[in-house]
Chain A
Amino acid sequence: MTLSPQLPSSPALPEPGFNFAYLDEQTKRSIRRAALKAVAIPGHQIPFSSREMPMSYGWGTGGVQVTASVIGQMDTLKVIDQGADDTTNAVNIRRFFRKVCGINTTERTEEATLIQTRHRIPETPLREGQIMVYQVPMPEPLYFIEPSRTEANKMHALEEYGPVYVRLYEDITRFGHIAMAYDYPVMVNDRYLMKPSPIPRFDNPKLHMNPALQLFGAGREKRIYALPPYTKVKSLDFEDHPFTVETWDQPCEFCGATDTYLDEVVTDDQGSRLWICSDTDYCNQRQQNNHLLTPTLS
């Protein structure tokens, strides 16, 4: 792992022959309209005319379309895949937007104005003015309870969320605790049930009263939903089995953090493993700061 300072990459010239951010202006406008509706009704899914993107479904086509619609020439983009900035999905989407927009990209959370993410919310707290874009595989929280969309829409409209708790009940009965580790359903603004996309439930508390605008795009399912800044978000639980987040017995082995989401990395075939921060940017910054601190400490 390198400790070189990560400077924001300088803007490149956009690839000729493409409109800014790949999609044509009318399409971007229609997606922004859906996003505005979504912001107006927090947690409610708005259908939109999802386009074919130059990547397969399941690789973040929904997130890419939302990003393409809201990105501007002055934006600085960060892309996260499972917390990391250097994995295939993150690298490719970042390169894609550099190519078709010629904008700045960064790996540092605090420098970014727009963050597209898959599976994680950065450990660094977000601030006002930032936009988070989530890639969503399955937006409908009632799907596994009610396969009919018509009936599910009715349940949302009438706020009939009892059956969702049946799943929590079953978890407690079978495992003694609520075992859903990711995509843990939340109630938004005391009204709509929402899937937060497959983020670990460790990140659920970060959704609550977040100062950043959070947009969720599902490309294959053609849905957009949103959490405006400072929206109340509550993870489902029982009165006598409150919602909890994951904890680990050891700190991150690279930076020593004890308050972050840790990934287990198998290092050989002898059973050795490492526990390290899944947020690479946060971990790198802590390592740099520790590096600077070490001489004064010793």
Chain B
Amino acid sequence: MQPLLTIDNLSKTYNSIYACDRISFDLYPGQVLGIIGESGSGKSTLLNAIAGHIPVDAGEIVYCDRSGQPINLRTLPEVHHRKLMKTEWGFVQQNPRDGLRMTVTAGANIGERLLDVGERHYGNIRSEAIEWLSQVEIPHSRMDDLPSTFSGGMQQRLQLARILVTQPRLVLMDEPTGGLDVSVQAKLLDLMRSLVRTLHLSVILVTHDIGVVRLLAHRLMVMQNGQVVETGLTDQVLDDPHHPYTQQLVSATLMP
């Protein structure tokens, strides 16, 4: 099988600090890759570099698009890059306020990506928005409310709906459960797990919560000081950690 995304020796420095040091991995369709590591280990930088939010210093990012054509994202013209980000990719921000338009209604938030790709029929946009609200378990009656009137968990689910409406193939998530309380987290994780399965999404999930990756991720990458120190199947890495840092990380987690 052809990988959906291939990262080859990706490097990003901030002056003399290596935020990402020669990172390579493959992501296959339908796969969920978890990236864990402590604060400052370079996991968010890696995610932003892949999404094209920040320029990278060296390395290749190759994405295989819907038609099976490999695309080098570092040389892709900006116009195509931005289009790709709106149609085939999605980025879930840690803080839903960064990913949503807080001054327009929930329906408009979901409709925006449809409008971006050229949908110009109000009725169709409404029905799509209703469909996606029910997918993320937000009552239809809240469609014409502002996201600022939503709870944190609902905002995060709305952010998911806003991204999934154009049926992306690859979703990048930056600590999607950060800042939510445990029961809301559990509900969101449950929702994400079922969406990933039913929509056959590929996901790169950055988090520092081992519980989240254990539940969602198929494969796991552990980062420390900008380097990948351990990689493998999630259960394998978590149950039999080899690297001292991973061992420390796993043993530091509270078991209920």
A-to-B contact residues, CB < 8 Å: 154, 158, 160, 162-163, 165-166, 169-170, 172-174, 238-241
Contacts and interface: CB of A to CB of B under 8 A. Distances in A.
Given A160-B116, A162-B115, A238 B121 contact: yes
Interface string B104-126: 11011001110111101111010
29 contacts: A160-B116, A162-B113, A162-B115, A162-B116, A162-B117, A163-B112, A163-B115, A163-B116, A165-B115, A166-B104, A166-B108, A166-B112, A166-B115, A169-B104, A169-B107, A169-B108, A169-B115, A169-B122, A169-B125, A170-B105, A173-B107, A173-B108, A174-B105, A238-B120, A239-B120, A239-B121, A239-B122, A240-B121, A241-B122
A163 B82 CA distance: 14
B78 interface: yes
Interface in B126-147: 144
Interface of B: 78-79, 82, 101, 104-105, 107-108, 111-113, 115-118, 120-123, 125, 144
A154 B123 CA distance: 30
If over half of B's interface residues share one DSSP class (helix, strand or loop), that class is named, otherwise mixed; here it is: helix
Contacts of A158: 78-79, 82
B143 to A, nearest CB: 8
A158 B82 CA distance: 9
Nearest to A172: B122
A173 B112 contact: no
Contacts of A173: 105, 107-108, 144
A169 B105 CA distance: 9
Contact of B122 (A154, A160, A163, A240): A240
Nearest to A157: B79
Given A158-B79, A158-B82, A173-B144, A165 B120 contact: yes
A255 B225 CA distance: 80
Contacts of B105: 170, 173-174
A166 B121 contact: no
A153 B3 CA distance: 36
A44 to B, nearest CB: 17
Nearest to A154: B78
A162 to B, nearest CB: 3
Contacts of A163: 112, 115-116
Contacts of A174: 105, 144
Contacts of B115: 162-163, 165-166, 169
Contacts of B79: 158
A109 to B, nearest CB: 36
Nearest to B123: A240
A23 B125 CA distance: 52
B107 A166 contact: no
A4 to B, nearest CB: 51
Given A162-B115, A170-B108, 17 more contacts: A154-B78, A160-B116, A162-B117, A162-B118, A163-B112, A166-B101, A166-B108, A169-B104, A169-B107, A169-B108, A169-B111, A173-B105, A173-B107, A173-B108, A174-B144, A238-B121, A240-B123
A273 B121 CA distance: 39
A165 B120 CA distance: 8
Contacts of A160: 82, 116
Nearest to A169: B108
Contacts of A238: 120-122
